[in-house]
């Protein structure tokens, strides 16, 4: 459901990688490793592969037997979110403001669709670098091209580093919800800290990822070990 929720629709990729891992695990160790654990470990290993920090992933999660489109839509903050909306959405999951700013730093990699930043580059926001906005317009016209992609971090798009925050200092956040983190507001100092201190970002990010990976996990006899990650066992 999460991949089809409003903030994510048409933009999440890589599910074939998870399916491939699951298939290989099932052939060796049937119905033992959950999709939830695979996703959590894959997230960590992806960060490490791109030069980011590592952390210990607690294991033993089980998979849900239900999925909720309405919960995904209500709980996932969208690209037009304000700072206060982001804070509220993360706090709902017991993640504090520093966790929120640190986890937003995952936008040091990945891409966003034109439809999610069009308003920002065509006058909807004033807190955007003019040259940066102009550079994005070629691939994101005022009409059409909704699914055209742009890098969330234009400086080092394929490296997991703290450039996301230095981009924000220059008003080069791609999404409205990125730039609100540095906009004469309460999160400005945290952004400045992460921009100038890569170790501080890495430490806060790993702490927040561990906390996020421990949000209401199903364990023991709860849930199930899915045979296919895209659907509940029949």
Annotated binding site for heme b: 107
CB-based contact 108:164 (threshold 8 Å): yes
Within 110-231, residue ranges assigned H as helices are: 118-119, 130-137, 163-169, 176-179, 188-196, 198-213
Cα–Cα distance measured from residue 50 to residue 145, given in angstroms and rounded to the nearest whole number: 29
Question: 143 Cβ partners below 8 Å, 6+ apart?
Answer: none
Point out the annotated binding site for substrate: 77
Distance, C-alpha 159 to centroid of its chain: 15
DSSP conformational letter for 139:
T
Closest CA to 21 of 223, 228, 232, 233: 228
Instruction: Tell me the HSE value of 162 on the side-chain side, using a 13 A CA sphere.
Output: 21
Point out the annotated binding site: 2, 77, 107-108, 153, 156, 161
Cβ neighbours around 213 below 10 Å, total: 20
Point out the annotated binding site for Ca(2+): 2, 108, 153, 156, 161
CB-based contact 181:192 (threshold 8 Å): no
What is the sign of the dihedral through the CA atoms of 60, 65, 211 and 40?
Answer: positive
DSSP conformational letter for 228:
B
């Amino acid at each position: 459901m999460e991949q089809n929720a409003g903030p994510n629709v048409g933009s999440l990729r890589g599910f074939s990688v998870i399916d491939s891992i699951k298939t290989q695990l099932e052939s060796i160790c049937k119905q033992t490793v959950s999709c939830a654990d695979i996703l959590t470990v894959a997230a960590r290993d992806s960060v490490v592969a791109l030069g980011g920090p590592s952390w210990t992933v607690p294991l033993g999660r089980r998979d849900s037997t239900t999925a909720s489109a309405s919960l995904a839509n209500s709980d996932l903050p969208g690209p037009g979110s304000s700072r206060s909306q982001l804070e509220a959405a993360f706090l709902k999951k017991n993640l504090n403001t520093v966790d929120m700013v640190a986890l937003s730093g995952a936008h040091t990699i990945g891409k966003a669709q034109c439809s999610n930043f069009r308003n920002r580059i065509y006058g909807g926001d004033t807190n955007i670098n003019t040259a940066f906005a102009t550079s994005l317009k070629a691939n994101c016209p005022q009409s059409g091209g909704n699914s055209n992609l742009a890098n969330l971090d234009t400086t080092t798009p394929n490296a997991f580093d703290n450039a996301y925050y230095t981009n924000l200092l220059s008003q080069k956040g791609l999404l409205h919800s990125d730039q609100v983190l540095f906009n004469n507001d309460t999160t400005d100092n945290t952004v400045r800290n992460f921009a100038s201190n890569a170790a501080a970002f890495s430490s806060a990010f790993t702490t927040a990822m561990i906390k996020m990976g421990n949000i209401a996990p199903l364990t023991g006899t709860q849930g199930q070990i899915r045979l296919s990650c895209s659907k509940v066992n029949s």
